Amino acid sequence: MKIAVFSAQPYDRRFLDDALARRQAGGALALQYFTEPLSLQSVALAQGCGAVCVFVNDALDAGVLAALAAQGVRAVLLRCAGYNNVDLAAAARLGLFVARVPAYSPEAVAEFTLALVLTLNRHTHRAYARVREGNFALDGLLGSNLHGKTVGLIGLGKIGLAAARIFHGFGCRVLGYDPAPPAGFRALGQAAQLPALLAASDIVSLHCPLLPATHHLLDAAALARMKPGAMLVNTSRGGLLDTGAVIDALKSRHLGALAIDVYEQESELFFHDHSADIISDDVFQRLLTFPNVLVTGHQGFFTTEALREIAETTFDNLECHRAGKPCANACLAT
């Protein structure tokens, strides 16, 4: 069987090739790599393939899924946890198997969240640049201790819980909001309703999925509820934030700092080198002008351990499907 791998980067190729080599001698699977994202324009590349392997910014709407099914594709293998980019109802109607990698490394994203918080709080990114220019002045680099601060986690799944363990270890008071809080959270923090969490937290970090119910979860009204001067961190999905409202909150100085690893319109930008291009997204460019905003390009997951796990689980999911066995990682329409 041939598998069309879309949005393939050199590191995807390396880890998928390694995983495939480890598990098959006979060559029953062949990977075809395409740097293009999957869309209606690129869907024909999957001609002759039994499966496609895709990532966060590939668009699997009803039209693309219908075109895939018409070409004989039977399985959609997500190399990520989130599946907000797949029309699951359409996939079910077309009889397509869709599976994801639910937990490739919660610690990778939770630790990256910490990296963002510590960088913004202690200005290590600015200190790095200053020192290289021979400027050892400390003015402008003043931070505050994390110890004793209140951290509000929105979403207490695998990543939220890993973040709770880390913040707890730093001596923070941890609040968590989740419609279904896991029992394991009780030893680390206190469950709270969203308005109370927003009002009490010095740092608010998002770890819930992007769903119709969570789109723009942090809009102008929610941002207004946040403690003045608080820090907001989003390593989950860009659509959880109303970016326009976030910019207003930064301009009014109500929001003290922002770190984002994800952005609602990121598919136009992220995972590619645009250093020689003129970026036409004025909202994104405005974000980059704030000294108290840190933006990274969806790299929270990007560790060796996570990429290895993504590759292994991707092939496990396909094997499950081919053997006709129930797959715990299948994404089902609700």
Binding site for ligand NAI (CB under 6 A): 81-82, 103, 106, 109, 154-160, 177-180, 207-210, 213-214, 235-237, 261-262, 298, 300-301
Q: Which is nearer to ligand NAI, 51 or 108 (CB)?
A: 108
Query: Which burial class, exposed, middle or buried, applies to 124 when counting CB atoms under 10 A from its CB (0-12, 13-18, 19+)?
Result: middle
CB of 328 to ligand NAI, least distance (A): 13
Q: Please enumerate in sequence order all residues whose Cβ is within 8 A of that of 142, keeping only pairs 6 or more positions apart, or say none.
A: 123
CB of 120 to ligand NAI, least distance (A): 16
Spatial separation of the C-alpha atoms in residues 330 and 334, rounded to whole Å? 12
CB of 219 to ligand NAI, least distance (A): 13
Q: Is 219 in a helix, a strand, or coil?
A: coil
Q: Note whether 189 and 164 are within 8 A (CB).
A: yes
Distances in whole angstroms, Cα of residue 329 to Cα of each of 18, 38, 264, 288, 325: 22, 21, 25, 37, 12
Beta bridge partners of 31: 3
Q: What is the DSSP letter of 254?
A: -
Q: Which is nearer to ligand NAI, 73 or 154 (CB)?
A: 154
- Determine which one of 79, 123, 207, 266 is catalytic: 266
CB of 213 to ligand NAI, least distance (A): 6
Spatial separation of the C-alpha atoms in residues 189 and 196, rounded to whole Å? 14
Tokens of 191: 């469950």
Q: Which is nearer to ligand NAI, 66 or 110 (CB)?
A: 110
CB of 321 to ligand NAI, least distance (A): 21
Spatial separation of the C-alpha atoms in residues 179 and 98, rounded to whole Å? 25
- Determine which one of 79, 100, 123, 237 is catalytic: 237
Spatial separation of the C-alpha atoms in residues 96 and 38, rounded to whole Å? 16
Q: Which is nearer to ligand NAI, 73 or 151 (CB)?
A: 151
Maximum separation of any 2 CA atoms in the chain, in Å: 64
Does residue 237 carry a catalytic annotation? yes
CB of 110 to ligand NAI, least distance (A): 9
- Determine which one of 79, 207, 298, 321 is catalytic: 298
Tokens of 172: 């923070």
Q: Which is nearer to ligand NAI, 207 or 227 (CB)?
A: 207
Does residue 298 carry a catalytic annotation? yes
Q: Which is nearer to ligand NAI, 64 or 218 (CB)?
A: 218
Q: Note whether 154 and 179 are within 8 A (CB).
A: no
Beta bridge partners of 204: 152, 232
Segment holding 84, helix H or strand E: none
Residue nearest to ligand NAI as judged by C-beta position:
157
Catalytic center residues:
237, 266, 298
